Amino acid sequence: MVTHKNILIIQTAFIGDAILASSVVEKMHQFFPQAKISILVRKGNESLYQEHPFLTQTLVWNKQDGKYKSLFKLLRTIRKQKFDTVINLHRYGSSGFLTAFSKARYTSGYDKNPFSFLFDNKSKHKIGDGRHEIERYNDLIESITDKTIVKPKLYPSFKQFSKIEP
């Protein structure tokens, strides 16, 4: 049986998807409040999670710094962290590679991912079916949580708020 004590959530797409990924962070914290939860985002999205109280760390993939060189460096970092659970919210090969070769004891991702044959849990990802992306994200963690959808939530710092004041 897998204990979900050290969790990595991967969402290396653009800012909107990174914001929606916060729903998974919130729900995983609800179900595993003692777990260390980390998130992996693309460079530029890390400030979204800077003050998030449920995250142990935010990993950043700088795709502009040699996409494949940085991918392998990131894989080494992920393996050193010894995550027991990796939830991949992205459908593409690069994130699937990180998930499949993370050495996590439990992996979850979309069936469209080229590495999905190596995942423990696979969910269908169909666009245009009337479902919101958060619902599809929830499909990836439903087997270790429940069917309830949790809304995204960010925790901006005072400094971030002060930047937008007139």
Burial classification of residue 166, based on how many CB atoms lie within 10 Å of its CB (0-12 exposed, 13-18 middle, 19 or more buried): exposed
**Do the beta carbons of residue 6 and residue 102 sit within 8 Å?**
no
Provide the percentage of residues in the chain whose pLDDT is more than 90: 84
| Domain 6-164 fold | Rossmann fold (3.40.50)
Report the pLDDT averaged over residues 36-57. Answer: 95
Alpha carbon 66 to its chain centroid, in Å, reads: 22
**Please, where are the H alpha helices in the chain?**
15-20, 22-31, 67-81, 93-100, 133-141, 158-164
Q: Mean of the per-residue pLDDT values for the chain? A: 94
If we measure between CA atoms, which residue out of 62, 23, 69 comes closest to residue 40?
62
pTM (predicted TM-score): 0.94
pLDDT in tens, 92-138: 999 999 999 999 999 999 999 999 999 999 999 888 999 999 999 99
Q: How far is the C-alpha of 161 from the C-alpha of 82, rounded, in Å?
A: 35
CA–CA dist 109, 137 (Å, integer): 9
Task: For 131-162, write each residue's pLDDT tens digit.
Answer: 999 999 999 999 999 999 999 999 987 777 67
Class of residue 137 by CB neighbours under 10 A (exposed 0-12, middle 13-18, buried 19+): buried
Sign of CA dihedral 126, 19, 95, 65: positive
Rounded alpha-carbon distances, angstroms, from residue 102 to 27, 70, 132: 22, 15, 28
Going by C-alpha positions, the residue among 31, 30, 1, 22 that lies closest to residue 137 is 22
Task: Report whether 50 contacts 157 (CB < 8 A).
Answer: yes
Cα 116 to Cα 120: distance, rounded to the nearest angstrom: 8
pLDDT score of 165 more than 80: no
